[in-house]
Amino acid sequence: MNVALKNTPCLIVMLLVASGLCASPTVGQTLFDDFNDNICNTAMWEYGTDEDGDLAEIHEHLEYTSPGELEPDEENAAYYKLKTPAPYGTGWTVTLDVHVGDYGGGPESDHDYGMEVVVLNTADYRDGLWFGLDRGWWEDEYYLGWWIEKTTDEGEEMEEHYAPATASDGALKLVWDGTSFHSYYNEGAGFQALGSSISVGDWDMDGSSTFTLRIGGWDWGCDFALDDGSKLYCDNFELVIPEPATLSLLGLGALAFGLRSRRAALIRRRN
Ligand SMILES: [Ca+2]
Ligand SMILES: [Ca+2]
Ligand SMILES: [Ca+2]
């Protein structure tokens, strides 16, 4: 083997790291995807679905499509999942642009849908954090809002925060400071906090644990297909894992900060 060929794999790794395409999130690294090439970066992402949801890079963003609801109470979801989980011990920040268009429909058919970031305890997928922009009809009320919800294997210890949204477009930011999660949303006037911080101390994790990170879309109870193109999508995923010193400089350390059950959460929110 000549020297050039022998060094090729090493060169490729160096180029991948330099271009941000390397799949392993490590301290000091930023992972970014603008989805502009309309092809899944399989070095970074695994594709997954629940039921019949579909997710695809198209129109230079990541777009969700539902086939419509066939069975009552069925939920569809499709997602990109990071191939390499994010580490527990160091802090990290994920940001994502989301767009949840208006499909209308009548209150006679309860349904809701949205785009989200999902964090799961790699060792126990019952431990989860679901954060996104959601829209839909529920019991004759039409809502659009930012929503973060925590689940655990204990079930009854669920936490959640909700804030009404004013537009179909926005950005969300989730910050892990090594102890708890801080959630923010931005509708054009800068990021603002969505409720208080959420601790995952009851997830039985330790310094060697990791989080699985997913982005994607979902719908529940729809009796029509979310297939109109570009109405439900996300864009510009960024995961930043700063050096610990950088994290404290950002002031993040100073901020006091599964199984899906949206139906139960909605009922609680409305009561
Ligand atoms: Ca894009
Ligand atoms: Ca791509
Ligand atoms: Ca657990």
Q: What is the DSSP string of 187-234?
A: SSS-EEE-SS-EE-GGG---TT-EEEEEEEEEEES-SS---SSSSEEE
Mean pLDDT of 178-194: 97
pLDDT for the residue numbered 16? 39
- Indicate if the pLDDT at residue 55 is higher than 50: yes
Neighbours of ion ligand 2 (CB under 5 A): 37, 39, 41
Task: Please check whether residue 219 is in contact with residue 116, taking contact to mean a CB–CB distance below 8 angstroms.
Answer: no
- Indicate if the pLDDT at residue 139 is higher than 80: no
> pLDDT exceeding 90 applies to what percent of the chain?
55
Sign of the CA dihedral 118, 80, 235, 249?
Answer: positive
pLDDT for the residue numbered 71? 65
The residue type of 159 is E
Query: Ligand 2 centroid vs 12 CA: distance in angstroms?
Result: 18
Query: Ligand 2 centroid vs 195 CA: distance in angstroms?
Result: 33
The CATH number of the structural domain formed by 29-270 is 2.60.120.200
User: Smallest Cα–Cα separation from 214: which of 92, 89, 112, 128?
Assistant: 128
Give the ligand with the smallest distance to the CA of 61: 1
- Indicate if the pLDDT at residue 37 is higher than 50: yes
pLDDT for the residue numbered 227? 75
More confident residue, 34 or 266: 34
pLDDT for the residue numbered 244? 60
pLDDT tens digits for 59-111?
999 999 987 765 666 788 999 999 989 988 889 999 999 999 988 766 666 78
- Indicate if the pLDDT at residue 213 is higher than 80: yes
Sort strands 169-176 and 45-50 into parallel, antiparallel or unpaired. unpaired
- Indicate if the pLDDT at residue 58 is higher than 90: yes
Mean pLDDT of 162-175: 97
C-alpha radius of gyration, the chain, whole number: 19
Mean pLDDT of 131-151: 91
pLDDT for the residue numbered 168? 96
Mean pLDDT of 37-59: 93
Query: Ligand 2 centroid vs 62 CA: distance in angstroms?
Result: 9
- Dig out the tokens for 185 from the structure: 């949303």
User: How long a stretch of residues is the chain?
Assistant: 271
pLDDT for the residue numbered 26? 67
Query: Ligand 3 centroid vs 158 CA: distance in angstroms?
Result: 12
pLDDT for the residue numbered 155? 64
Q: Can you tell me whether residue 70 is helix, strand or coil?
A: coil
DSSP 45: E
Tokens 């809502």, located at residue: 143
pLDDT tens digits for 20-34?
444 456 667 899 999
